[in-house]
Amino acid sequence: MRCRHFLTSLLSPLSFANPPSRPLASRARAVAQPPAQRRAALAEPDVGISRFASSLPGFRGALKQRYSDFVVHEVARDGTLVRLTSFDLPDERADTDDEADADLPHALESFRLLCGDADCEALRGFLSRVSEGDSDVSPIILSPDADKAHRLEVHDFFKRNFIFLVTDTVEHSDGVQRCIRVRLRSGPRGRRNRTGTGSSEPSGWRDDRPFDSRGSVTWPYHLGKFLRFHLYKENKDTQEALRVIGKMLGLQPRSFRIAGTKDKRAITTQQVTLFKVHASRLAALNNKLTGIKVGDFNYVKEGLVLGQLMGNRFTITLRSVIAESEDMIKVAVDGLIKSGFINYYGLQRFGSASVPTHLVGAALLRGEWRSAVSLILDPREGECDDMNGVREHYKEHGDIDVAIRNFPRRLIAERAILQRLKKYPGNYLQALMAIPRTLRLMYVHSYQSYLWNHAASMRAGIYGLSGVIEGDLVYKKECLGEGTVTDASENNDDHTNTSEMDIFAETLPEETIQSVKVYYIYTQTE
First to last CA, the chain: 15
Q: Are 217 and 241 in contact (CB under 8 A)?
A: no
Please state at what angle helix 357-366 crosses helix 369-377, rounded to 10 degrees: 160
Amino acid at position 504, single letter: F
DSSP 396-464: HH--HHHHHHHS-TT-HHHHHHHHHHHHSTT-HHHHHHTS-HHHHHHHHHHHHHHHHHHHHHHHHHHH-
Q: Are 72 and 312 in contact (CB under 8 A)?
A: yes
DSSP 106-133: HHHHHHHHHH-HHHHHHHHHHHHHHHTT
Strands 292-300, 226-234: pairing is antiparallel
Dist. CA 413–CA 397, nearest whole Å: 20
Dist. CA 84–CA 233, nearest whole Å: 10
Dist. CA 204–CA 164, nearest whole Å: 27
Dist. CA 279–CA 88, nearest whole Å: 9
**Could you give the residue numbers annotated as active site?**
263
DSSP 347-415: GGGG-SSSS-HHHHHHHHHHT-HHHHHHHHHS--TTS-HHHHHHHHHHHHH--HHHHHHHS-TT-HHHH
Strands 140-141, 165-171: pairing is unpaired
